Amino acid sequence: MSKSEKPARIETPQAIRGTQDIFGADAEAFARVVESFERIRRLYRFRRVEMPVFEKTTVFSRSLGETTDVVSKEMYSFEDRGGESLTLRPEFTAGLARAYITNGWQQYAPVKLATHGPLFRYERPQKGRYRQFHQIDAEVIGAAEPTADVELLVMADQLLKELGIADGVTLQLNTLGDGESREAWRAALIEYFREHKASLSEDSQDRLERNPLRILDSKDPRDKPFTVDAPKIDDYLSSEAQDFFAKVTGDLDAAGVAWVRAPALVRGLDYYRHTAFEFVTDRLGAQGTVLGGGRYDGLMESLGGAPTPAVGWAAGIERLAMLVADAGQVKESRLNVAVVSEAAGLDQSACALGFGLRRKGVSVDVIASGGVKKRFAKAVKLNPQLILVLDDRGLSAGAFANLRVKSLTSNQSVATDLADDILQTLEQKFYVDDSFTIEHGRELQLRIDSPAQ
Ligand code: ATP
Ligand code: MG
């Protein structure tokens, strides 16, 4: 083939804007969040569910309401080949409510559900804000009592503590009252904001008649001066709504969960009632809300179901993972070993030693291929707590291999249970002298039979 016939260079397609390929420490932090959530949801006896990534568009447009940011400008909607309008889920709650109705999950009510996975919103990508992002999600459906709200809040608090990121994250709590309180507050907000309409941002002018609560949630500095003096929900709460909120706050205090009152906190979605909350941090710049939720007693009816009280929360896994990574809370597996074979004839034994240790729950890398001289350096690069090296240099009669124990920092002490696991694994195949210990610099000739007395 002559030079001029060289095939055209193939252009590699780029990833879609706002999506992420998560790798390395970020992926470990991500996994840490999901693993902790799985553990905690079991402690609270939430049942795991797996949900479809897409739904009929009406599942979201009806339940979230046409006036919300998510429905009006953030949904990924498309027509499938059958001409049906479908949407990639922008949140979990609406799909879970749909499933509750269509599967007859009423029979399990009150039912505690937990899930996690990807969500899709057409937003301007920036740090902590993506077009495909991931949430963990917990919901209690069919429970009207404030104890359900409290259980979810205590669960969220425990999760943040377990992740080691609770310091610097504040629970902001509000009530939106019952339907009646909320309507009265809404009417007062419309009246108040009308007087200042000309000074509000375009978005807020637009929200004024349709969804005035959202103005309180505005991030536009032009709206800020007016939101401060806006009518407060407290002046419109029915006595039932007051009692409900008092029970939630009283129980939180009793459970030792710190909170602050945030009277202007409204959730972006129309179906919220009573409890509304966000766990907020100042460590992530503008994307400071890590977890948000509340009670959504009005949602089921908007999807054609029977009136059903429900409450839940969702947290962005990426935002939690950033906090976990910043706080240095990504822990390497405690038991982490590399087994290196420095002789081709010992490769299989190194693998067998690795398999044996893994069966005991020790995390192991085995390095038993490639140039023999480079293997130790490869092991060092993996940064294990301990390296076990097998070689066959200068063996005496009856010896099978030399075992050398190396730790990367020579003063590093080896966890006793790790040392025990290694000794037990060795003893399954070899005679191991009682006086041999797993410590940096220790060497042992592995013998298959007991040495002569
Ligand atoms: P925000 O005010 O940051 O837009 P939101 O009110 O739209 O948040 P929710 O719908 O309540 O967010 O979702 C719950 C959580 O999911 C948020 O607190 C956040 O941690 C995360 N989240 C929401 N949108 C995104 C996104 N585009 N990228 C990454 N995480 C997100
Ligand atoms: Mg948003």
Which residue, 303, 326, 349, sits at the end of a domain?
326
For residue 286, give the ligand nearest its CA.
Answer: 1
Co-location of 313 and 409 in the same domain: no
For position 417, which CATH number holds?
3.40.50.800
345 and 287 within one domain: no
With respect to residue 350, please indicate whether it lies within any of the assigned structural domains. yes
Structural domain containing residue 404: 336-447
Q: Which of 115, 287, 323 to probe ligand 1 with, by most ligand atoms within 8 A of CB?
A: 287
Q: How would residue 415 be classed by pLDDT, with cut points 50, 70 and 90? A: confident
**Are residues 145 and 117 part of one domain?**
yes
DSSP 294: E
- Nearest 5 degrees, angle CA 81-CA 87-CA 89? 140
In a shared domain, residues 432 and 301: no
pLDDT, residue 174, reads 96
pLDDT computed for residue 449 by the predictor: 63
Final residue of a structural domain among 326, 354, 380: 326
> Which of 303, 373, 313, 375 has the alpha carbon at shortest distance from 339?
375
- Asked whether residue 163 falls in the same domain as residue 249, the answer is yes
Q: Which ligand is nearest to the CA of 131?
A: 1
CA of 253 to the centre of ligand 2 (A): 30
Would you say residue 291 lies in a domain? yes
| In a shared domain, residues 311 and 377 | no
Mean pLDDT on 296-312: 94
Looking at all shown ligands, the one closest to residue 126's CA atom is 1
- 322 and 348, same domain (yes or no): no
Instruction: Encode pLDDT of 103-137 as tens digits.
Output: 999 999 999 999 999 999 999 999 999 999 999 99
Ligand 1 atom at minimum distance from 123 CA: 27
**pTM, two decimal places:** 0.89
> In angstroms, what is the span from residue 316 Cα to ligand 1's centroid?
6
Q: Which residue, of 280, 307, 326, is where some domain finishes?
A: 326
Both 299 and 354 in a single domain? no
Q: Which residues is 336 bridged to in the sheet?
A: 363
Q: Residue 246 is encoded by which pair of tokens?
A: 């008092």
Q: Do 300 and 155 share a structural domain?
A: yes
Question: Could you tell me if 405 and 419 are in contact, meaning their C-beta atoms sit under 8 angstroms apart?
Answer: no
> For the segment 345-397, what is each residue's pLDDT rounded down to a tens digit?
999 999 999 999 999 989 999 999 999 999 999 999 998 989 999 999 999 88
- Are residue 310 and residue 340 in the same domain, yes or no? no
Which residue, by CA, sits nearest to atom 24 of ligand 1?
A: 129
Let me know if residue 284 belongs to a domain.
Answer: yes
CA of 317 to the centre of ligand 2 (A): 14
Structure tokens at 264: 């202007």
Report how many domains make up the chain: 2
Q: In terms of domains, do 383 and 286 share one?
A: no
**Shared-domain flag, residues 300 and 401:** no
Pairing, β 386-391 against β 336-341? parallel
Q: Which residues pair with 315 in a beta bridge?
A: 136, 291
- Cα 364 to Cα 337: distance, rounded to the nearest angstrom: 5
> Which stretches of 75-224 are assigned E, i.e. beta strand?
76-79, 85-88, 111-120, 132-141, 169-175
Which residue has the CA at smallest separation from atom 28 of ligand 1? Answer: 129
CATH number (domain holding residue 42): 3.30.930.10
